[in-house]
Amino acid sequence: MLKKIINNTYWGDKIADTVSNYISYTRAHSENIFEPEDMENFFRQHDPFILGVWHGQFLLIPTIRPDDISASIVVGRHGDAELAAKVVSRFGVKAIRGSGAGGRRSMKDRGGAKVLMQAIRALNKGDCIVSTADVPPGPAQKVGDGIITMARLSGRPIIPAAMATKRAITLKSWSRLTINLPYSKCALVCDNPIHIPRDCTEQEAEQYRLKLEAAMGRVTKRAYELVGRSPKKIAPHWERSLKPGLGFTGYRLLTNLAKPLAPYLFRYRLRQGKELAEREQERYGIAALPRPTGQLWWLHAASVGEANAVLPLIETLLHRNPELHILLTTGTVTSAAEMQKKLPERAFHQFIPLDNKKFVHNFLSYWRPSLAAFVESEIWPNLIMGVKARGIPLLLINGRMSKRSFKRWFKKPGMSRPIFGRFNAILARNAVDKRHLISLGCENVILSGNLKIDAPPLPYETDELAKLRATIGDRPVLLAASTHAGEEEIIAEAHKMIALDYPDALTIIAPRHPNRRAEIVDTLTGERLNLQLRSEVKPPNRSTNIYIADTMGELGLFYALANLAFIGGSLIKHGGQNPIEAIRLGTTVMTGPHTGNFTDSYDELIRRNGAFRVHSAKDIAAKTIDLLQNPAQHEVIKEGADAALEYLSGAMEITIKTMESYLAPGSAPQQMTTKTIGSEKGPSTT
């Protein structure tokens, strides 16, 4: 109904006139304060510029334009934006209609690309642009990418700005929309302009985004300080109470009610091969090992990949701290088997208890850790609350938060804020993860980089490698590593194309989950290819076309064997798997388009020509044949890959320093040589 009224020519104009008159009246009947004092000359000095304001604090912004400066404002296409466009026109400000997706995936065209081009054209013509720095639907007061892109492509500076009045009404909208009231102090504060180079990298652009976000926070705080009003009035919901909401209360109630079902769940998982019968009690928080005396740290990793990533960390911590013991928990059978073999002395493995209040109590009461650290994205609400209730320092290391997970958590502030706000510190893998985690309520987030970059090469048996090389001889080899359902057929199709030029080619498929062996054989049967399973026939026969490596713990062996590897989980929408393991063993890497799980690694590798993307069986075959015909390319690619790894490294040192800051008194760590982080050698910690 409101949209129809606003769109009506007569009533829409009447409402716009009323709103604009109210805005003018409020400005005219307020005591105005400016920083810098000569605001008009400040604007003229930098004209044309992009004025960045928070979405919820824009009501009085159209009134600040000097008469000799031409300005346009970016507004959306929805109903209330139609009113905004009419209102700003009353102040001589033109409207550019459209908005970005705010990080959302949507089939609907919101006009983001078009509005960006219009804004750049306006800047080139000499217009200033007013743009909200945060993007609907939020998070509020978190700078989006749109304003950064606008500044980068136009070459014009961003001026962070904020307006506040002593008297105002703040609505409970996502952006904390504020209606300023007359007869009060009114402050306009601007910060120094921020220039963004056109040729900056994605990581550098993210640093400028963080710089703008910090500046926006400063001017907002200062404007409210000048008028004598608390900026907490407009705090977005992710900055609010740590008190658990209904979401967490409901979760705890459900997990308590489900406690009698735990044995049935265990038996169901046992039949699927996902549990070990002899270790059932560990799932209920009942320990199978004695607790060592002295200081004990507890690390939790979800599965094999995360556990392998922290193995070097565990080894270094134990070496540097002789009195320390480490308990590592995981949730999968395969990770348990791997860790039993790989964990060093003074480190041991247990299964993570089910996330029930009683099981958590059993676990924490027995082990009494002096530090708890979760790895990557393992978030168990009852465990987190239990740890903090006992005053145990809690960290999230190698922290990551996918867009999908972030959106899911962000919609539940009554659950996300109390949980994420209880971490003492979070070490985020990249700047996007850092932004997401801060938005969910984490107050101490450190940009550390990815621990998997610093992991040593995967181990392998040299005798077994020699046997494979002797059996395979000079046959061309393509490795498809960590494949998922839907990818093996594509690899088989690529093999047939390669075989047209190289009839003796061998393709090795090492699935992410070896227990899919029967499924893979069924899928590839009928492709007129000779298949063999490594679990049945150790070395491949001369007639083998596709060799399925369905064994555990041998991925390092096959990376050492093959010059070229396709890394799976990337031709389907899974998010990709770790490319670093292959590169550490000198293997050239190709990947599909879906690499969201390792965005930083792949982006840097591809930027430096240290890896390449493929989209189909035809692409895989063509690139494989090209490298077989031009083997010197491997060295060029290797140089780019090594440079990328050097740039991305450094997470291990940052993580160790952060963790050791929580050592108990009298447990001083040994000295360790450190390197500068934040230059070409690694990601910034700022």
Q: How far apart, in whole angstroms, are the C-alpha atoms of residue 178 and residue 176?
A: 6
Summary count for the chain: helices (H), strands (E) = 25, 23
Q: What is the DSSP letter of 194?
A: B
Q: How far apart, in whole angstroms, are the C-alpha atoms of residue 398 and residue 24?
A: 51
Q: Would you call 554 a catalytic residue per the annotation?
A: no
Q: How far apart, in whole angstroms, are the C-alpha atoms of residue 487 and residue 506?
A: 17
Q: How far apart, in whole angstroms, are the C-alpha atoms of residue 506 and residue 495?
A: 8
The one-letter code for the residue type at 497 is M
Q: Which residues pair with 374 in a beta bridge?
A: 300, 396
**Peptide bond before 511: cis, by omega within 30 degrees of 0?**
no
Number of Cβ atoms within 10 Å of the Cβ of 496: 16
Which residue blocks in 411-487 are alpha helix, DSSP H? Answer: 413-420, 431-439, 462-472
How large is the angle between the packed helices 112-124 and 145-154, nearest 10 degrees? 40
In 3D space, the residue among 472, 452, 541, 527 whose CA is nearest the CA of residue 495 turns out to be 527
Q: How far is CA 376 from the centre of its chain?
A: 10
Q: Which two tokens stand for residue 457?
A: 């090469």
Q: Which are the contacts of 626, defined by CB distance < 8 A and separation ≥ 6?
A: 633
Q: Which two tokens stand for residue 138?
A: 């939020």
Calculate the alpha carbon distances from 403 to 203, 440, 578 in Å: 17, 12, 18
- The region that residue 228 occupies, defined by phi over 0 for left and psi between -120 and 50 for alpha, beta otherwise, is left
Q: Which two tokens stand for residue 301?
A: 């990793």
Determine whether 600 is exposed, middle or buried from the number of CB atoms within 10 Å of its CB (0-12, 13-18, 19+): buried
Given a contact cutoff of 8 angstroms between Cβ atoms, the answer to whether 171 and 178 are in contact is yes
DSSP 3-state assignment of 371?
strand
Q: How far apart, in whole angstroms, are the C-alpha atoms of residue 566 and residue 467?
A: 23
275, 306, 376, 660: which is the annotated catalytic residue?
306
Nearest 5°: the CA angle 119, 125, 128 is 55
Q: How far apart are the first and last CA of the chain?
A: 48
Q: What is the DSSP letter of 558?
A: H
Q: How far apart, in whole angstroms, are the C-alpha atoms of residue 595 and residue 384?
A: 29
Q: How far apart, in whole angstroms, are the C-alpha atoms of residue 265 and residue 286?
A: 17
Q: Which two tokens stand for residue 580?
A: 């670093």
**Peptide bond before 36: cis, by omega within 30 degrees of 0?**
yes
b/e code 174-186 from CB counts within 10 Å (16+ = b)? bbbbbebbeebbb
Starting at the earlier edge strand, list the strands of the sheet with 477-483. 531-533, 546-548, 506-511, 477-483, 564-567, 588-591, 612-613
Given a contact cutoff of 8 angstroms between Cβ atoms, the answer to whether 332 and 304 are in contact is yes
Given a contact cutoff of 8 angstroms between Cβ atoms, the answer to whether 605 and 586 are in contact is no
Which residues are identified as catalytic? 306
